[in-house]
Amino acid sequence: MNIVVLMKQTVDTEAKIVLNSDGKIDTNGVTLVINPLDEYAIEEALRIKERLGGEVTIVTLGGDQATAAVRSALAMGADKAVQINDPALGEVDEGMAATILAKAVQTLPHDIVLAGVMDTDNGSAQVAVRMAEKMELPSISSVTKLDIDESLATAKRVIDGGLATLEVTLPAVITVVQGINEVRYPSVAGIMKAKKKPLTVLKLSDLGLDASNLAVQAKVLKFTLPIPRQGGKKLPGEPAEAASLLARLLREEAKVL
């Protein structure tokens, strides 16, 4: 079973986000990690490999700093990695990422392509499924349980208030959600071996692409930080008085009643 995992390096979910003078997210001094949802995809890939044999290949699109995330994925047990790192790329939107990743995955043997349902920073949940479209592969999103039997995948997918069970013929693209598995820690031996595993760095030209032909379709106009949480309000007075004040505030100020 040839398993490809799409992985993205993201800002640590615990990191404090600040905007720089250009209004962009400032990644200086911020811890970068494997997108936590992609970690579930890597874990699922490793489990499939342990069950059925085969090879797990990590594919990532990212600059030099993304190599650390790739090494972490290799330390977890992936066999090899492809990193598309081209300084010619400026801002990349989901459509561009899908185009580039589709080209990269097409160069690899792939029976199944796994990814986290979205990244925890931009959260668009588009890249893997749009890549599937470009590759003319079937895809199932938000999978919480996955069984592979020969060339058939059975997936349980989270739907509103329940689960749907779907079946798809491989090759297919599957995006996974939290809870599909419990992600392992990389072992010390895994960390030691990560450096020695093959990591292929590709430029767009290696994939027959040209940065000038790739255009951003949806432009980010600006980023806004959430309004900092305000302190609570203490309502004075006797219980009955305070309760009626609370009811009024809930209706008029908070508008929840």
Q: Which is nearer to other proteins, 54 or 190 (CB)?
A: 190
Of 120, 121, 130, 127, the closest CA to residue 223 belongs to: 121
For position 155 contacting other proteins by CB under 8 A, the verdict is no
| Residue 33 CB, nearest approach to other proteins (Å) | 8
**Min dist. Cβ of residue 178 to other proteins (A):** 15
Looking at residues 185 to 244 of the shown chain, list those that interact with other proteins (rule: CB under 8 A): 185-189, 191-192, 194-195
From residue 32 to residue 51, the character string flagging contacts with other proteins as x (rule: CB under 8 A) and all else as - is --------------------
Residue type at 213 in one-letter notation: N
Task: For residue 72, give every residue at least 6 positions away whose Cβ sits within 8 Å of its Cβ, in sequence order, or none.
Answer: 33, 34, 186, 194
| Enclosing H/E stretch for 46 | helix 36-52
Kindly state the smallest distance separating residue 230's Cβ from other proteins, in Å. 16
Q: What span, in angstroms and rounded, lies between the C-alpha atoms of 7 and 224? A: 26
Using the rule CB under 8 A, give the single segment among 100-108, 180-188, 197-205, 212-220 that binds other proteins.
180-188
Tokens of 176: 């996974």
Residues 60-79 contacting other proteins, CB under 8 A: 68, 71-72, 75
How many of the chain's residues bind other proteins (CB under 8 A)? 13
Residues 6+ away with beta carbon under 8 Å from 59:
4, 5, 6, 7, 81, 82, 83, 84, 101, 104, 105, 108
Chain residues binding other proteins by CB under 8 A are: 68, 71-72, 75, 185-189, 191-192, 194-195
